[in-house]
A and B are shown apart, each in its own frame.
Chain A
Amino acid sequence: MTIAELLEHRIIVCCGSGGVGKTSVSAALALRAAGRSTKVVVATIDPARRLATAMGIETLRNEPRRVKLEGANLWAMMLDSKSTFDALISRYATPETRDEILANRFYQAISSRIAGTENYMAMEKLYELDGRKEFGTIVLDTPPTRHALDFLDSPARMQNMLQGSILKWLVKPYFEAGRISLGFLRRGTDRLVSFLDHVFGLQFLHDLSDFFRAFNSMYDGFRERSGKVQQLLLSHDVAFVAVAAPTEISLAEAAAFQSTLEGRGMNFAGFILNRVHGLEAFTQPQRKRLDDWRRSHPDHPAAGVLSNYADYQDLAEAEGRLIDRWIDRGRVLTVLPVLEEDIHDMHGLRRLAECMDAASGGRKRGRRGGTERKKEYS
């Protein structure tokens, strides 16, 4: 697949481990898509402050806002998982239940800090944005997780966690009475429940039972919706991209992501390699002559530039080896170079987007990233 083919998809989801530049890549993809005359939104998690300012989304959270940019119908938003969850509750609960749930301590804990909530809420927001039929292209930057797969598994985990039925079955009579009673616990019909009381204390069980009693009325709606979210992700309108930097951890993660996605029949579009030091490689004799030259000319005015170049040759070679070891070059959508600066404004994003054009065409083999630079510097 090429970048141009990728941009034909209605929804593009960027995954990858932390620190690989997912946010910049997502924003640059959105910028590229916006050049194709559709209305585009990029939903991002935690952009660098200067980048957020540049896109005009520093203050407003959780709703798309138009990026001030001539000639591009580009919108951006910052995801806020707590407000997304609250909105979801408000959509399905009756007003009284809603207030009860929102004030429940157990709910507050799961909605703000439970691992996985953020992932699921990113999907939920995606589903909501898609449902508006307002945007031609949606680019989603996923939350930083250690395992990109956490993102994919989040609907199932969320459903599992909020499924009150097991609990309900277990403590049914007490649910109906509204509260877990001490009598029930003392009777010790179930070792686990009495154990939980012992370990967690009654208050926790009360919060929990209050939450599930209230949530129960909306569980079916919630489950139905999360089923639809999963369905959306299985559809071929959605393209998944694994963003990776040329480090072992990041590449290993990206490779694992590809095999899981394909195993699940999801639409894996390919890899975007970011921050790659691409150089035209020396031949071995050239490299030997370079090292000899450096030894014999320690004080030559060019010595600094040459030893620096030797270091970057080493780096590029090591990166190339890692890339070849972990991923299939044929599935690389584009190789993005290290720019000389952090990306913190529209200019930087534009440059990154231009690099995508220059370097797209995943079928090309061998180290890439050098040619597009030449263009800028010669």
Chain B
Amino acid sequence: MLRELLARRLVIVTGKGGVGKSTIATALALLASRQKRTLLVELEAQRSIARFFGKPPAGYEAAEVAPNLSLINITGPEAIRDYLQLIVPVGLLVEKITAHPLYRYFTEAAPGIKELLTFGKIWKLEDEKHRHRPLYDLIVVDGFPTGQALNMFRSPIEVCETLKVGPIASKARHLVDLMRDAEKTAFLLATLPEEMPVAESIELYRTLTRDIRIAYAGIAVNAILPKRFRRENLGRGGEIQRAVGEAFREIGAGDSHVVHAYRAAHEEMRWRLTHEHYLKRLASELPGPFLHLPFVFKSDGGGELVERIAAVMAGEIAVPLRAAR
């Protein structure tokens, strides 16, 4: 799965809010950077991914955060300004336009422009060259959550339909072509094995593949609990319960801990069953590949977590150890 995924130029990670898109995108980029010059893109990030690498928050200029891995944070206003500089050659004129009272109004009101130019900026990065070869082999985007992501993917299509002529329209047409080029672009779904994220993923998969027509790279299912217990083993009054009581007495923890430990085991089993149910549902409704990622109980929430997730991802395929370049 990863080999095919990483062979593209642009991979956009999307899914419901709160499923761990940033962690997944970062782990993927980290993994890719072992063999490719990789750019990780965050969009209007509040808490920059840079913290995973112990670096200050990323700005609109790509900066290296790890060997072979650069990070950039693209915001709508900056992308619009960037575009203006591209089509208006005179710097002074750009200043005049952005200072105009109507400017902010237009950039907020013109439907889809912000998303379009954010998308445009990503493709501009794809096109950047260093000594006649691409500056980045792979761009991984920590994408917007579902609703906003759909807006972004739709923006070039809609702008094409609305504007028809002019530089923005031709830019939009170019973007649609790139976006629909399965060799170059793909989206990776991120989800949790729970009802809402799964339902949203299935819906999003359909919209993106059928209506918007972007290539599907697979789905990463995050925070899956381990399978530890069977229902019959957790029955009351059984051998295990007695054994647990004994063990807690030995370590000098009271009865309340026995109750809590038993409850934690029960909770784990019930949630594991829920997870299995939704993993099955995903398997029956979506094509693979599936990237199963474990629930992390203990972590500092920083770089170590991302490295662990990357290691799990790497276990799915043998990542060539050959050094990049």
Q: Residues of A at under 8 Å CB distance from B?
A: 17-20, 48-50, 105-106, 109-110, 113-115, 144, 146-147, 157, 160-161, 166-167, 170, 191-192, 195-196, 198-201, 203-204, 207-208, 245, 247-250, 252-253, 279-280, 282, 285-286, 289-290, 292-293, 297, 300-302, 304-306, 308-309, 311-312, 314-315, 318, 322, 338, 340-342, 344, 370, 373-374, 377-378
Contact = CB atoms under 8 A, between A and B. Distances in A.
A50 B199 CA distance: 11
A344 B195 contact: yes
Contact of A201 (B163, B195, B257): B163
A198 B97 contact: no
Given A203-B164, A318-B299, A18 B148 contact: no
A172 B93 CA distance: 24
The 10 closest A-B pairs by CB, nearest first: A19-B18, A18-B17, A109-B111, A302-B243, A309-B261, A340-B270, A289-B251, A314-B298, A301-B243, A311-B297
Contact of B246 (A114, A247, A302, A309): A302
Contact of A196 (B106, B108, B259): B106
Contacts of A374: 256, 259-260
A314 to B, nearest CB: 4
Nearest to A24: B196
A192 B108 contact: no
Given A200-B166, A312-B264, A18 B18 contact: yes
5 contacts: A105-B162, A109-B112, A192-B100, A248-B47, A289-B253
Contacts of A191: 93, 96-97
Contact of B167 (A144, A161, A199, A293): A199
A198 B166 contact: yes
B239 interface: yes
B240 A305 contact: yes
B284 interface: no
Contacts of A170: 102
A113 B297 contact: no
Interface residues of B, number: 74
Contacts of B196: 48, 342
B297 A312 contact: yes
A291 to B, nearest CB: 9
B108 A160 contact: yes
B164 A201 contact: yes
A301 B252 contact: no
B166 A113 contact: no
Contacts of A200: 110, 163, 166, 168
B129 interface: no
B228 interface: yes
